[in-house]
Amino acid sequence: MGNTFGHLFRITTWGESHGGAVGVVVDGCPPRLKLSEADIQPDLDRRRPGQSRIVTQRKETDTIKILSGVFEGKTLGTPISMLVWNEDQRPEAYADFKDKFRPSHADYTYLAKYGIRNWAGGGRASARETVGRVAAAAIAKKILRERCKTEILAYVKQVKNLVAKVNPSKVKFQQIERGIVRCPDEVAAEKMIRMIDAARKQGDSLGGVVECVARNVPVGLGEPVFDKLEADLAKAVMSLPASKAFEIGSGFSGILLAGSQHNDPFTIRGGRVRTKSNFSGGVQGGISNGEDIIIRVAFKPTATIMQTQETVTIDQKKALLKAKGRHDPCVLPRAVPMVEAMVALVLVDHLLRHEAQCGKR
């Protein structure tokens, strides 16, 4: 249970990291949208392992295949099924994990919950599971772009204690993608790569913050009181592997201000209602106000490290875990398209939900 996301633009993902394939079914996609694998592959390539030396080196081409829901280059309005075959399956690399729980992985909790687990890899807890999310979100992004010119950009904002300088309202896709760490601040990016390289050599890992901005979001998205836009955004990104915290707008730093400083004064600009500041982060009362939506997500240092760790066996004996398998020194560069994906899935679902109740603007 729990493998479906969205109310009207619904995705259901499936697949273990070392099973035969991973995939997704998208239900509720509007009909007559031009769509082919070429719309989807680029985001998968950004998510792919092995794209640079600072991410995990698993070998996968992640070539997407559309199995249904598209006819003569257009969506039919019926479910779109897509899959990617797993190519790099090496259960032998995981043999040592058959009997021992890797610290801060999901090995123990999966076994405790289900009484069984696929020890030949991370199973559903692997970041490999996000293939389906990113593929589905490529469709969501296309709908948002075509209907509302909505643009969703994420980037690495912080690695460990190093914070990049980025203007979320101005940053461009090319600035983010020109470097392997996906940080548009070139000076910071260079330092980040050095930090990750150093951690990699020590068999260690680093965490950080991905910031994401959504521009040109229509006013009115969000369904109070439980499906407020920030609530669904929080859920969406907190369902990504390794995420530990979420902020919107001023977030934790907003509490250092008094209300008189933190309130966003309304004004008229460009013939419409705008706010002078944007501590709200584009959402007020759970509903988008047309300003840039800005969120931040903290990702912990990856649990897969190349050092010996204390753990226990499945029959409850203390043991040491010797590092094996592939090291993942920093998830952040690959987390960028994942965060974008979750934001896109939330926005397109809320766009349809809003129009369903309140009509088109």
Residues 120-159 touching a second copy, rule: CB under 8 A, are: 120, 123-125, 129, 158
CB 237 within 8 A of CB 267: no
Cα dist. 150→135, 143, 153, 344 in Å?
18, 9, 10, 9
Q: Work out the number of other CB atoms within 10 angstroms of the CB of residue 315.
A: 6
Q: How far is the CB of 264 from a second copy (least distance, A)?
A: 5
Nearer to a second copy by Cβ, of 50 and 203: the residue is: 203
Q: Counting contacts by CB under 8 A, is residue 105 touching a second copy?
A: yes
- Interface with a second copy (CB under 8 A), residue total 154
Query: Taking CB under 8 A as the rule, which mask of x and - marks residues 187-216 in contact with a second copy?
Result: ------------x--x-xxxxxx-------
Q: How far is the CB of 45 from a second copy (least distance, A)?
A: 22
Residues of this chain, 161-180, that bind a second copy according to CB under 8 A: 161
List 310's β-bridge partners, or say none. 320
DSSP string, 28-86: -PPTT-B--HHHHHHHHHHH-TTSSTTS---------EE-SSEETTEE-SS-EEEEEE-
Distance CA(115)–CA(314), nearest Å, equals: 11
Q: Counting contacts by CB under 8 A, is residue 90 touching a second copy?
A: no
CB 56 within 8 A of CB 328: yes
- Binder of a second copy out of 131, 230, 337, 343 (CB under 8 A): 230
Amino acid at 147: R
Q: How far is the CB of 26 from a second copy (least distance, A)?
A: 9
- Binder of a second copy out of 250, 333, 334, 347 (CB under 8 A): 250
Nearer to a second copy by Cβ, of 6 and 179: the residue is: 6
List 70's β-bridge partners, or say none. 75
- Binder of a second copy out of 38, 174, 256, 270 (CB under 8 A): 256
Nearer to a second copy by Cβ, of 175 and 302: the residue is: 302
Structural tokens at position 251? 């977030």
Residues of this chain, 36-65, that bind a second copy according to CB under 8 A: none
Question: Which residue stretch of 17-25, 43-51, 169-177, 180-188 sits at the interface with a second copy (rule: CB under 8 A)?
Answer: 17-25
Query: Taking CB under 8 A as the rule, which mask of x and - marks residues 271-310 in contact with a second copy?
Result: xxx-xx--xxx-xxxxxxxx-------xxxxxxxx-x-xx
Residues of this chain, 327-356, that bind a second copy according to CB under 8 A: 352-356
Distance CA(249)–CA(258), nearest Å, equals: 15
